[in-house]
Amino acid sequence: MNWSNALNDYQHYLKIERGLSHNSIENYSYDIKKLINYLEENSLGYSPLDITHEHIKQFIYTISKSIKPRSQGRIISGLRNFFDYLVFENYRNTNPMDLIESPKIGRKLPDTLSVADIDLLIQTIDLSYEYNGVNLGERNRAIIETLYSCGLRVSELIDLKISDLFFEEGFIKVTGKGNKQRFVPIGDTTQRYINIWIDIRNHIDIETSSKDILFLNYKGKQLTRAMIFTIIKKLVEKSGLKKSVSPHTFRHSFATHLLENGADLRAIQMMLGHESITTTEVYMHVDRSYLSDVLNKFHPRK
């Protein structure tokens, strides 16, 4: 088995067996390609079946000189998963990553916006902005409001469908990582902004494959992840906000603000679609004043 065959098999496994998205599969593949490129650049003819712990160790040592510990840890994790797959499929007997340790890195706290920051960004949107006769200002307001008010990942936002909206019940159906679905509450304000956009959307000549997609470009096609990043980047620049803001910043802000206002961590986990509560617990470190308030309110020895 050569590297190309092994990588193709692994990608097929990630798609069919684990139900991962195209972007997730690309991220997993990137880690393996780093190793493949290293072997090719150094004329090392090791296949996925005969590469050893020592070879991997030398590769990790080489890349550690040029990448940060966090990136190094991600590559190690990606390779470990890849070789676990080869062992699972009986291509190999052992995983050469077993004795490779990830570098110690501090837990990176998520960036957040204040409520005032988010209000500023929404107020900055030019609601009269049109392109080719389509009001994209109203669309952009609905996008920002949905990202923040529902705590969506950018991939979940661009895949959101008209048929996923259950406004009478006060929920939207979100398809997250691994095609896992969850219902997320949606407030009246966000519903109102989405409905304004839907009225505009109804007058667009929509591409057949995007008939049920909520957020579209002026051509009636589904938006890309890159387009959402661009919309936010331009909005931040126009607002004068001196912060680094991405689509995920709104998701982090959603969770942090819920926690600060007393929401239960388990409820936040369910709304974010985190498989493990430990992933959600990172928000416990964002605002320590919240922890002090909890202690003062609930502890008998306050």
User: In this structure, what CATH number is given to the domain that contains residue 70?
Assistant: 1.10.150
Residue 98 lies in a domain: no
Residue 105 lies in a domain: no
Residue 186 lies in a domain: yes
Looking at the fold, whether 289 and 148 belong to one and the same domain comes out as yes
Looking at the fold, whether 34 and 73 belong to one and the same domain comes out as yes
Q: List the domain range (segments joined by +) for residue 223.
A: 115-294
Render pLDDT for 199-216 as a digit per residue (tens, 0 to 9): 999 999 999 999 999 999
Residue 240 lies in a domain: yes
Among 11-20, 94-103, 141-150, 273-282, the range with the most confident prediction by mean pLDDT is 141-150
| Residues involved in catalysis | 153, 177, 248, 251, 274, 283
The sign one gets for the Cα dihedral 281, 282, 288, 289 is: negative
Distance between CA atoms of residues 58 and 63, nearest Å: 9
Long-range contacts of 184-188 (CB under 8 A, 24+ apart): 184/150, 184/151, 184/152, 184/271, 185/150, 185/271, 186/146, 186/149, 186/150, 187/149
Looking at the fold, whether 180 and 249 belong to one and the same domain comes out as yes
Domain count along the chain: 2
Render pLDDT for 102-138 as a digit per residue (tens, 0 to 9): 776 555 556 789 999 999 999 999 999 999 999 999 9
Q: Which two tokens stand for residue 257?
A: 């603000």
Query: Quick check: pTM over 0.75?
Result: no
Among 21-25, 96-100, 223-227, the range with the most confident prediction by mean pLDDT is 223-227
Distance between CA atoms of residues 78 and 33, nearest Å: 11
Looking at the fold, whether 123 and 266 belong to one and the same domain comes out as yes
**CA proximity to 97, closest of 68, 55, 46:** 55
pLDDT mean over 49-64? 89
Residue 104 lies in a domain: no
Looking at the fold, whether 55 and 131 belong to one and the same domain comes out as no
